[in-house]
Chains A and B, each alone.
Chain A
C-alpha cells in the first residue's frame, strides 16, 4: 500500500500501525511471561496487592512441588509417545490413501473420497459415549492405545495428501516406473515419498499439535494417573484443595515451554502449516 499523501500524515499512519502491532504482540506474549513470573514466585507473593511482576526465586521449589503432586515427566512422556506414534501413523496411512486417490483408478473412487470429506463435518462429540463404550469393551481404558488408534483417523490428512500428490508427483514418472516393473507399493515408496516430504512436515505439525493439546478424549478414557497425558495431568494441579498458584503455573509453564521453543525455531513452517491447512480445506 503505497500512500502518496503528505509526509506528516504518512508517518502518523505508520506510527498507528506500529502501535496496533505492539499492543497486539504485548497482549499475546504477556500471559506467557506472567506465567513464568508466577512459576518463579511463592504463592504469598502472588496473592498480594500488587502481585509480583518480576521473576522470583521459587523456580526450583515450585517445580519440586509440581513433581510431588503429579507425575509430570511420566505425563510428558505419555504425551510424547502418543503424539509421535499417532503422527507417524497418520503420515503413513494418509499418504498411502492420498496416493491411491491421486494416482490409481478404481471403481467408486470419487464417491469414497467425497465420503471422507463429509466425515470432516461430523462433530466429534456425537459419537463420544459409544466410543467410550468401545474402548471399555476392548479393555483399553487407561491404555495409550485408546488415544493412538482412533488418532490414526484423519480425513483432512487424506485430503491434504491427495491434493499434494496429484499436483506434485509426475504421472509420467509413475507410468515409467510401472513399465519398468515396479510394484504399486514400490512406486509409492520410492517415487511418491521423496516428493511429498514438505507435505509430511505440514501434516506432522498439524497432527502432533492436535494430539498433544487434545483434552476431552484423553480425559474420558484415561482415568489412572500413570496413563495421563500432560493435558489431563495439568488438571490434577488445580484439583487440589490447597491452591498453590505458584506450583500450578510452574507445571503449566514447563508443560508449555517445549512446544513454544519448537515453534519459535520453526516459526515459518509452523505458521504456514497450521493456517494453510485451514484455508485449503
Chain B
C-alpha cells in the first residue's frame, strides 16, 4: 500500500487541480447522490404511507369516493369493538405461549451445542436451524394439517397415546392458540439457539477456568458467569421476538382461513380484515396506529427493563 502511495504521489503533484469544483464539494455531491435512492424510495413507500395512515385514521373512506373527516370516531369504534380486544388479548397470549418456551429451550439447546465434548456438532446445528429456512406459509400449512381436529391428526394421535380424546385444535379457545404458538415456536427456536450459541462462544474461557480454580460448581458457573454474560443477547432476543409476536399474521391466516375465527384473530389479522375484506380503511388505519403505539410502549418498557437489569 505504501508503495502505491509513493508512486502515485510522484506522478501527480498534490497541487494539481483537476476541475473547478473542490474535491470536498465533489465528495459531498457524490455522497448525497449515493444515499438518495434510499431516501426517495423510503419517502414514497415508507414515510409518506406512514404519515398518511395517521391522516386516514381520522377519515371515513372505503378506498373510492370522497373522504370524510370524522375526528376520533374510528378510534372510538375500534376501542369499543369487542373483537379488537379479543384480537389484542389473543396476540398477547400467543406472544407468551410462543416466545417464552422458545427462548428457554433455545438457551438449553445452545448450552448443549456449546459443550466441547460433542461430536456431530455441525449436523445438530444444521438440523436445529433448518426450520428457520422453511417459509412461514409452509410451516403454517404443515402444522395446520398436523393439528387436524380429527383423531388422525398427528397431534391428536399423540394425545390418543396418552388416553386424551381428540382435541378441536382448529375451533377451541386454547386449541387454536396452542397450535399457532407451536408453529411460531418450531420455526424460531433454532434461530434463537444459534444466536445464544454465538453469545456463549463469546464468553472468554479463562472466566470459567478461574471459577474452577476457585472451586465453583456447574450451577454456580451458570448462575454467575453464563447468565450475566449472556444478558445482552437475551434482552435482544426478547426484544425482537416480542415485536415479531405482535405482528403475527401469516400463521393465523393460514390456520383459521377465511373464517377469521375469533379464537385465532390477531391484531394484524384484524387490521387486514378491516382494510381488505371490509374495505373500512379509516378504522383499519386507526387499528394500525393503535398497534404502532402498543409496539412503542412495549419496546420502551423493554428498554427500561433492560437498562435496569443491565446494571
A contact residues vs B (CB 8 Å cutoff): 1-4, 14, 17-18, 20-21, 24-25, 27-29, 31-32, 34-35, 38, 46-51, 93, 96-97, 99-101, 104-107, 109, 112, 116, 119, 121-134, 149-150, 152-153, 155, 158, 170, 172-173, 175-176, 178-181, 184-185, 188, 209, 212-213, 215-216, 220, 231, 234-235, 237-239, 245, 248-249, 252, 255-256, 259-260, 263-264, 267-268, 270-271, 274-276, 278-279
Contact = CB atoms under 8 A, between A and B. Distances in A.
A279 B236 contact: yes
B308 interface: no
Nearest to B1: A172
A89 to B, nearest CB: 9
Which A-B residue pairs are the 7 nearest by beta carbons?
A127-B49, A130-B49, A100-B34, A106-B28, A130-B52, A104-B31, A106-B31
29 contacts: A1-B116, A2-B212, A4-B212, A21-B113, A25-B124, A25-B127, A28-B128, A51-B154, A93-B37, A104-B30, A128-B271, A129-B281, A130-B48, A132-B275, A133-B63, A150-B41, A150-B45, A152-B41, A172-B5, A173-B1, A184-B30, A212-B135, A213-B135, A216-B250, A237-B141, A248-B145, A256-B134, A267-B122, A271-B129
Interface in B1-34: 1, 4-5, 8-9, 11-12, 14, 18, 23-24, 26-28, 30-32, 34
A103 to B, nearest CB: 8
Given A235-B137, A275-B191, 17 more contacts: A21-B128, A27-B186, A31-B186, A34-B142, A38-B145, A50-B157, A104-B27, A126-B291, A127-B46, A127-B48, A128-B271, A129-B288, A184-B27, A235-B254, A245-B145, A271-B126, A279-B233
A21 B112 contact: yes
B101 to A, nearest CB: 12
B285 A2 contact: no
A93 B39 CA distance: 11
B276 to A, nearest CB: 6
Given A127-B53, A130-B52, A209 B141 contact: no
Interface of B: 1, 4-5, 8-9, 11-12, 14, 18, 23-24, 26-28, 30-32, 34-35, 37-39, 41-42, 44-50, 52-53, 56, 63, 105, 108-109, 112-118, 122-139, 141-146, 150-152, 154, 157, 186, 190-191, 193-195, 198-199, 208, 212, 218, 233, 236, 240, 243, 246-247, 249-250, 254, 257-258, 268, 271-272, 275-276, 281, 284-285, 288-289, 291-292, 295, 299
Contacts of A268: 122
B210 to A, nearest CB: 13
Nearest to B299: A121
Nearest to A136: B63
A49 B157 contact: yes
Contact of A252 (B63, B127, B138, B199): B138
B289 to A, nearest CB: 7
A38 B138 CA distance: 14
A116 B38 contact: yes
Contact of A220 (B38, B130, B276): B276
A215 to B, nearest CB: 5
A122 B258 CA distance: 28
Nearest to A268: B122
Per DSSP, are chain B's interface residues mostly helix, strand or loop, or mixed?
Answer: helix
A101 to B, nearest CB: 7
B38 A158 contact: yes
A252 B63 CA distance: 34
B152 A51 contact: yes
A278 B14 CA distance: 44
Contacts of B138: 35, 234, 252, 255-256
A108 B133 CA distance: 39
A104 B275 CA distance: 44
Contacts of B195: 275, 278-279
Contacts of B151: 49
Contacts of B47: 119
A20 B141 contact: no
A214 to B, nearest CB: 9
Nearest to B131: A28
A96 B34 CA distance: 6
Contacts of A152: 37, 41
A179 B9 contact: yes
A125 B24 contact: no
B109 to A, nearest CB: 5
A105 B26 CA distance: 10
Nearest to A107: B28
Contacts of A127: 45-46, 48-50, 52-53, 288
Given A1-B208, A17-B112, A239 B257 contact: yes
